[in-house]
Chains A and B, each alone.
Chain A
Amino acid sequence: MADIVFAILAIFALVGAFGMISFHSPIHSALSFIVTILALAGIFALLSAPFLFAVQIIVYAGAIMVLMLFIIMFLNVRESNFPKEPNKFISMFFGSILLLPVNIFIVRAFLKMPEKSMEIVEDGFGNIGSLSMELFTRWLLPFEAISILLLVALVGAVVLARKEES
């Protein structure tokens, strides 16, 4: 059962990702990226990580992609503004052939992975309680460092966006 659900979600994720790079209009790309995000959220839920499932939907699908779509709609790009992409699919084909060695490595790494049982783990795994205990005890320093990084980015954006007083 879980395998079938995983297969469906994985197909959605791949189709969404392919659509994201191959669509011509930016809105279509953004929308198919949302499909990928939702499918990934479903895979998180399948991996007994309900908190990550919710956060993936709230943060990526609910906030970041809305902002992206807002900006794309706000700019009101027209059909004539799109870059011309001659031979798009041919270049994509050759690009994927170039990436083939890397992919073979990834497949080999996947095959080398040890066998693990795919059973549902015990209660509390991946819940907000156990996750935050890990985050605020063992991984406290990296967590705070990432917070500071985000804060720096935020301040930088405000400084860049501020109008100069003339």
Chain B
Amino acid sequence: MSSVLLVVVSVNVILALLFSIGAAPIMVWLERRVAGFIQDRLGPNRCNIKGIRLGGLIQSFADMLKLVFKEDFRSSTIRERFLFSLSPVIVFVCAFLAFMVVPFADNLVLFDEVYVMQAVPVELGVLWFLAFAGLGVYGIMIGGWASNNKYSLLGSIRSSAQMISYEAAMALSLVSVLVTYGSLNLVDAVNFQAQLIFGFIPAWGVLIQPVATIIFIITAFAEANRTPFDIAEGESEIVGGFHTEYSAMRFGLFFVGEYVAMSTSSAFIVTLFFGGYHLPWLDTQVLKGNMPTVLAVAMVVIPLISFIFMRWVYKNNIWLDKNDARNKESIWLLKILLFKNVVILSLLGYALFVGIGENVTNILTCILQVVTFAIKLLLVNFFFIWVRWTLPRFRYDQLQTLGWKVLMPLAIANIFITATFIVVMGV
């Protein structure tokens, strides 16, 4: 069944592309809008194609086009031309590669063969993330150094100092998590979290390893170069830090790379600490066993969500002038949603009516888990954005103090307690 394998692998790669690069325009839009609401303003919402604004989402595509068509300026003082061009590529590729091991759903069984739902199905899991996320810092360092500019050099020195500060604490916080799950493999880690503690609490990493969760989230912020740890960029102190000299698509790669890194960090936070692709209390076996019930619930919930969404749109997107182009947007959205609902409902109804075979059950379970994962990813990404517009920037010596004097002893103590607990309880 090599053609099935080919299809599954391509689906996985496309999913990885969608969740990392495809999510970047949505993240940019979300970031600017959330920033607007936090600072009591609207954010970009005017950009439109014939009145269709999608709440400002079109702005991201306009920005993207701007970056592609902008003049690619390179100062004549830059002598390291090869390294200057290479560094955005390193940032982008490393962030993207690190994303590749995230499992999007439980192992898919089709025609009695097991397919792993990872773009790169390696056993290394967390180690792969540490390896490639760690390499991303070279892009920033080389870029800042090759710019031949003192602010850029300061940015790259800060970035390497930052890397030295958080990397040890991050790796040590992951050790206790790995000891708990008993495996490097991310699918095993997620399936461990499908258990229940005391029969009713989902055994999510955030509940059984709260200290490791906090340390990992803090260090993941530093890994993704996000505020409060965007000291390499530091636009209010050192112009633009490492990307001061970059323009057009070279800057665009840095920019998208930052959002891909954010998505990667979020994906690992979701996978390791928030149950990955599992709905709480509904593990893969339960979903497969009760597929008709799940479908029936979905047939009620999907139209309900669409209805609430359309009511919200009609309440907020209404203009006095009937001929206003913006009024057409609601009608368009209504049509698209109605069409989507009719298609989904008829498919689900047909499936329920005819009765579903084993393969279809497995595929539906897989789709449900991918959707769960996507929603969790979006929520954690939102958390990243929320923090960015709430906390001020750390100084780099403060980050070093935090990393070495607070987080690392905490992580070591956590490893000690976890290991002792596991040996004593014989889990």
Shortest CB distance B274–A (Å): 24
Name A70's contact: one of B134, B135, B157 (CB within 8 Å): B157
A18-36: CB near B (< 8 Å → 1, else 0) gives 0000000001000100100
Chain A hits for B153, CB < 8 A: 73, 76
Q: Are B160 and A66 closer than 8 Å at their CB atoms?
A: yes
Shortest CB distance A26–B (Å): 11
Q: Are A54 and B124 closer than 8 Å at their CB atoms?
A: yes
Q: Are B145 and A27 closer than 8 Å at their CB atoms?
A: yes
Does any Cβ of A come within 8 Å of B397's Cβ?
Answer: no
Chain A hits for B160, CB < 8 A: 66-67, 69-70, 73
Does any Cβ of A come within 8 Å of B163's Cβ?
Answer: yes
Interface majority SS (helix, strand, loop, mixed), chain B = helix
A62-74: CB near B (< 8 Å → 1, else 0) gives 1100110110011
**In the complex, A69 Cα to B310 Cα: how many Å?**
55
Using a CB–CB distance below 8 Å, which chain B residues touch chain A? 83, 122-124, 127-128, 130-132, 134-135, 137-138, 141-142, 145, 153, 156-157, 160-161, 163-164, 167, 171, 184
Does any Cβ of B come within 8 Å of A128's Cβ?
Answer: yes
Q: Are B164 and A50 closer than 8 Å at their CB atoms?
A: no
Shortest CB distance A30–B (Å): 10
Name B164's contact: one of A27, A31, A57, A70 (CB within 8 Å): A70
Using a CB–CB distance below 8 Å, which chain A residues touch chain B? 27, 31, 34, 50-51, 53-55, 57-58, 61-63, 66-67, 69-70, 73-74, 76, 127-128
Q: Are A58 and B184 closer than 8 Å at their CB atoms?
A: no
Shortest CB distance A115–B (Å): 30
Q: Are B141 and A66 closer than 8 Å at their CB atoms?
A: yes
Most buried by A among B124, B145, B160, B184: B160
Q: Are A31 and B135 closer than 8 Å at their CB atoms?
A: no
Chain A hits for B130, CB < 8 A: 54, 58, 62
Q: Are B141 and A73 closer than 8 Å at their CB atoms?
A: yes
**In the complex, A145 Cα to B123 Cα: how many Å?**
30
**In the complex, A67 Cα to B128 Cα: how many Å?**
21
Chain A hits for B164, CB < 8 A: 63, 66-67, 70
Chain B hits for A62, CB < 8 A: 130-131, 134-135, 137, 167
**In the complex, A127 Cα to B124 Cα: how many Å?**
9
Q: Are B128 and A61 closer than 8 Å at their CB atoms?
A: no
Q: What are 8 residue pairs bridging A and B, where the CB atoms are less than 8 Å apart in the complex?
A: A51-B124, A54-B127, A61-B135, A66-B134, A66-B160, A66-B164, A70-B157, A70-B161
Q: Are B128 and A54 closer than 8 Å at their CB atoms?
A: yes
